[in-house]
Chain A
Amino acid sequence: MEVTAGWYLALGAVLFVIGAGGMLLRRNALVMFMSIELMLNAVNLTFVAIGRHVGDLNGQVAVFFVMVVAAAEVVVGLAIMISVFRRRASASVDDLAVLKG
């Protein structure tokens, strides 16, 4: 059978939802962040697929920007997490619930 853009979009959607699920279910900050990366990559896949489908370069180009931004997020995110770990050994975000109500 022949793989159309539709399949890619579907895959992208699935990946995105998986990522979201991870965000909702996991309590380890790193893992949560990874799921976000997964979501971003799902979006990238979608971009490429569409760009290819409609024959428009914007789609491909977007991916590069997204990657860069993701990288930047990683940097900042890890920095923040490290500063958290400095104070307590666990990486579980559930320990971070001083602020509430």
Chain B
Amino acid sequence: MVDYIWIVIALPLAGAVFLHFFGSRLREPIAGVIATSTVGLSFFYALIAAADFFSGTGEAETVHLFDWIPTLGANAELLWDPLSAVMTLTVTGVGALIHLYSIGYMHGDPRFGRFFTGLNFFTASMLILVLADNFGALFVGWELVGLSSYLLISFWFQKPSAAAAGKKAFIVNRIGDVGFLIGLMLILANFNTLTYGTVLADPARFVTAGTATAITLLLLLGAAGKSAQIPLYFWLPDAMEGPTPVSALIHAATMVTAGVYMVARTASLFELSGFAAATVATVGAFTALFAATIALMQRDIKRVLAFSTISQLGYMFLAVGTGAYVAGIFHLFTHAFFKALLFLGSGSVIHAMGDEQDMAKMGGLAKVMPVTHLTMVIGWLAIIGIPPLAGFWSKDEILALAFGAGGWFTFLWVLGIITALLTAVYMTRWMYLTFWGEARWDDGVDPHESPAVMTLPLVGLAVGSAAFGLLNTPFHGPFKPAFEHFLEPSFEAIEMAHLPSGSTPWFLALISIAAAAGGALFAYRRYQGAEAFDTAPVAAKRTGVWRWVTNGYYVDDIIGNLLVLPGKLVAAWTAFVLDTEIIDGSVRAIGGGVRRISGWLRPVQTGFVRNYAVVTFAGVVGLLVWFVSQGAG
């Protein structure tokens, strides 16, 4: 079974190749059906392959497919262990549902087939990423998901904004990848290979803490790029230019979590460097808070979710940085469900509103879209962390573990709690502006519930969001921490963070629940009361800090003016002054110089015999002088 695990990748890949060539010829639903089924099959294959892990008898296995670049220890080798199994299942499971949903969402798009090519290709790339057995293969998947994200964000290439967003996403990711690449250089230089087996088994054998710090920080840069963490988060909001299923699959559920996965995978390296781990946690906590604040003021239904995604990824970073790898992966897992759910829901809304994305023009959709509304409520409760829904368990575990880590992490815990509060505020706002209150639709718009093909996945994801939290509870008996046991083999060697002892966890849980409930209540009241409508969560002050927040702290402008513009100027100077004028200029000058000298010399040939005789005679004298001097000497 496991020996053929490559089938998991091969299926969607084959789907992509097939659809690339024939997708455009197929009648509409068929392409979608094919794509969906390839991913679905992968899911079931993975499920069966993971059976041993469920029974706890599973052994990590590597499958060697073929040599790629042996001299770097980078071969086509797959690693099948609980961690990659979880990732595979998440990717294929959530992926399959989103594929299904897309059949409805992309209905009528002229490039229907092409879209599924992209989705399938992305799934394959993501699976390469999570199944890789060495950093080389990991990097392949790493870049390929970037590519597919680029292709899918700018899927509607006629929209300049979409094209630009795609480019931005890829390039910002590449910035991170440079860091990643340099990290790989260090790894090869110290380990002489890129294979996990050698590098991760017992890194202390090869590297000092210092080197480990360098390596891990560089990897972190790559992770920050993929997972949209500070400082490389700013591509994700623009990425919402892509079709909503793309946002759901790539920019919420799977690709953006690659960074988290990578940190978890390289846990043994991070373990060597407390500093790097702390950095990861700090980056995560701050990103979480930062993004949450921006989310407060967004009017675009998807941008809110985008910033929310960044914020949630922050939690995951906080987790893996704290050493709570299981918690991190668990949050990744649950988040995949409820965030995908929320995105698909917003997609369903956008669909219903005739591609309207401004929440100021929505409201009161609960009545017309009952199913969507219901599922969204579940998603909403899940993300703000109301027990017993998934979000609560995963997020709360993270916070608890952070608190338990003590010291600096206690401060990060505080940030986490504030973020939890803000999350509740902006998500409630999101719900209210979209589904509740009175309708503010433009005339001519009449929303309607989406077709079953779209609502079905919503339901599926809703169930996940509601129930999967119970997979990992701190209790015993029926709700034992199954997820943790499941992942244990992958983290045997790793020193895990522990829950604080005694009743503290309960206490912490209460705090976070309070924060969530309080935030939700505040926001609800804010809008219920308001007559003069205003999207801002607090009484209208469009000035000072709020303008900053509304514009995402002007980060894009700052980058545009401080990095991109000067960069272009420098390039232009190099090209049109240094290269054309100075370097090529001097080359041309040499050529012209030779010609000019030749011109100057011509008049020497006066045409007068006497002068010729003079020159000749001068030659004679010169030669005589030489020879006679030879004789003398």
Contact = CB atoms under 8 A, between A and B. Distances in A.
A78 interface: no
A94 B603 CA distance: 15
Interface string A84-98: 000000000110111
B613 interface: yes
A16 to B, nearest CB: 11
A100 B612 CA distance: 11
B606 interface: yes
Interface in A58-101: 93-94, 96-101
Interface in A16-30: 20, 23-27
Contact of A93 (B602, B605, B608, B614): B608
B606 A23 contact: no
A26 B608 CA distance: 12
B610 to A, nearest CB: 6
B607 A23 contact: no
Contacts of A27: 610
A32 interface: yes
B608 A101 contact: no
A93 B610 contact: yes
Contact of B613 (A24, A100, A101): A24
Contacts of B614: 24
Contact of A97 (B602, B606, B617): B606
A101 B610 contact: no
Contacts of B545: none
Interface in B581-633: 602-603, 605-610, 613-614, 617
Given A20-B617, A101-B602, A25 B607 contact: no
Interface of chain B: mostly helix, strand, loop or mixed: helix
Contacts of A24: 610, 613-614, 617
Interface in B358-385: none
A97 B605 CA distance: 10
Contacts of A100: 605-607
A53 B296 CA distance: 121
A96 B603 contact: no
Contacts of B607: 96-101
Nearest to A97: B607
A94 B610 CA distance: 8
Interface in B28-79: none
Given A20-B617, A24-B614, A24-B617, A96 B605 contact: no
A25 B609 CA distance: 10
B603 A101 contact: yes
Task: Output the residue of B602, B603, B613, B617 with the most chain A CB within 10 A.
Answer: B613
B625 to A, nearest CB: 15
A101 B609 contact: no
Interface in B189-227: none
Interface of A: 20, 23-27, 32, 93-94, 96-101
27 contacts: A20-B617, A23-B613, A23-B617, A24-B610, A24-B613, A24-B614, A24-B617, A26-B610, A27-B610, A32-B609, A93-B608, A93-B609, A94-B608, A94-B610, A96-B607, A96-B609, A97-B606, A97-B607, A97-B608, A98-B607, A99-B607, A100-B606, A100-B607, A101-B602, A101-B603, A101-B605, A101-B607
Nearest 7 CB-CB pairings of A with B: A100-B607, A97-B607, A93-B609, A101-B602, A24-B613, A23-B613, A100-B605
Given A93-B609, A97-B608, 5 more contacts: A27-B610, A98-B607, A99-B607, A100-B606, A101-B605
